[in-house]
Structure 1
Amino acid sequence: MENRDIEDILAAAEGGEEDNDEEVGWGLEDLDLPPELDTPKASTNARSSGFVTPPQGMPVSQIWSQKSSLAAEQAAAGSFDTAMRLLHRQLGIKNFTPLKSMFLDLFNGSHSYLRAFSSSPVVPLAIERGWSESSSPNVRDPPALVYDFSQLDEKLKSGYKATTSGKFTEALRLFLSILHTIPLVVVETRREVDEVKELIVIVKEYVLGLQMELKRREMKDDPVRQQELAAYFTHCNLQTPHLRLALLSAMGVCYKAKNLATAYNFAERLLESKPAENQAKMAKQVKQAADRNMTDATKLNYDFRNPFVICGSTYVPIYKGQKDVSCPYCTARFVPSQEGNICTVCDLAVIGADASGLLCSPSQVR
């Protein structure tokens, strides 16, 4: 009985499906569906909209190097070889040992570094000269420089003070430092360029004079050479107070060596400079003593009547009309035999080398 009932139920169900095919269903035809999506096209768009790594930009230091023809800015950008070539072509510099620490200072002073996470590399940051919040992000200013002209002016004053105090070794160190820094200084105007060139000549005279004075103090057993070096020192272009001290020293050295005629000349020059009362008194006494015996006990390689310049290496006079060679950077003069050697005054350039001249301002290349 049970089996029969099951068969009847199944048969009725089958028949009902056939009889009600149009009336009974899922009702899907009544749904207002959108048109079918193009599945392959959608997957293609999804792939094309994925993240693409942007190309790497040019490092700021490379931009600096490409835009500048100034040695200081090349060193700040880390292009040391380019900076060295520029200094050799412009100033004849060949000995770069005194400039090594300044190259590193310029590079370090124009860069900083930011660490975001301990596991990530540091991010280098360029420090630009004259940057402000209104600066364009797409325009790079020149690198910030750690050396400027005002620093040299302060160092010059310190050198003068040390010279006045008789601290010649300290004064020489300061003046040499100025000569070594000037090639790596950048100024803005033509007027400042002229001031830089003038400073080179001023400092060169002091370096030469102080070198001779320190040499003179080492030659205690050679009174003739001592007198000559003291005499040459008075022909360096010094500030008036320092010239008076040099004249006073040369006058005393020659007077003690019985070279009264030469001492008389220094006494006259000292009085012409309107010295202090005690210095004037001493000069007048030397003149009175020399008036009674206007002779020299020893002959010196020194003729104050004939204009001359002093060789920066051999410390001998190069009289007017004699051949000489000069340093292309500091302009110190030398006897011809010194050509090709490193200048003993600035300790940087090659004596007699061809050079185009100091380039320390953008105004010179515009």
Structure 2
Amino acid sequence: MNWHETILGKNITTKKGFAFKSTKYVDSGVPIVRVSDFTSDSISANDLKYYPKEEKYTYLDYELHYKDIIIQTVGSWPNNPDSVVGKVVRVPYELNNALLNQNAVKIIPNEGMDNDFLYYRLKSSDFSGHVVGQARGAANQASITLETIKSFKFFIPNYNVQIKIGKVISQYDRLLETNKKRIKILEQMAENLYKEWFVRFRFPGHEKAEFVDGVPKGWKVCKLKDIIKFNPKYDFKQQYSYINIPMAALSTFGMSIDKSQITIEEKSSGTHFVNGDVLFAKITPCLENGKTGLVNCLNDDEVGTGSTEFIVMHGVKVDSFFTYCIARDELFRKQAINSMNGADGRQRADLAFIKKIKWLLPSDELLVRFKRFTDSVIKQIEMFNKQNQNLIKQRDYLLPRLMSGKLQV
């Protein structure tokens, strides 16, 4: 198989994003993709901003299409992987025809360069090392130039082989995406049941239920500290290493924790938690963005560690998923956000205030029925997560071998 060395700039054209004015954002319209919307390999639609539809045709040069490759040109240093400069993502189908904001550049492959092959090549560690190594900036912000991106050298095969390699790796990503969609549907089902029963009061038998002062009979008004233990203390003296969950591992919309972000540490520091605990981000902007997760990646007798910016929530009178639903509840989050104090850019939710938030504790019978349903949902989610872990391992094993020509297709 013939591979030859090339330079990226000879194989692509680029288009920088535009500085769209935040003063012109509207509630609905044309999505504006910002670098803050980037995930590890795609773009989240959870917190999009929009431009008026009637202005779209003024900015067609910045229009994005499904599978377009985007590189973040302004961001953080590698110690903050959530927003690291040089991050490479691809446009998902649901953001086809969105517009690209500033601090990012679209990479357009020339004829003879396959888009899938190029994307996976740029996801390699040597490309990220190349751009980060030449980044410039202050302690909290780094930037890279188009010249830095274009100067990346790598080996490529002929076009037909590029297509074959791209197709092989894409199959893994399609399976991963399918499982992610299944997980999202399952999580949404369980959260919707929580809202239906415990927020809208349409629980089984609600038609005949007796209400006292607007509260179903048998339910109790409590403070959160009465049903949830915050930042519990755990005994972990016998452990020689610790699973560490950073802020980057938490999702802004789901309960699953990104296991690719987890590290193994020799020392215990930060917050401590066990399986079934909920991790709730207390610092801006992570709190506003919805960073929350349900721990399910530890052994039964193992204690994990994580960011000092987590509030750990351990259900005492309610189960793990009910606790997670509280952490996702709009009313709870609004009160937590309103309690934030501290210097600009480093504001944190007030735990003492959160503990005193009043909450309805449903009847034991309803809690048991809810747990029975959510336990089965969580088992299915865990199954799909395990499948994805195996798919990622297989993909990441194949990728460098395919990209180096060691493994032929």
Larger helix share, 1 or 2: 1
The answer, yes or no, to whether TM exceeds 0.5 is: no
Q: TM-score, normalised by structure 1?
A: 0.22
Larger strand share, 1 or 2: 2
Q: Which has the larger radius of gyration?
A: 1
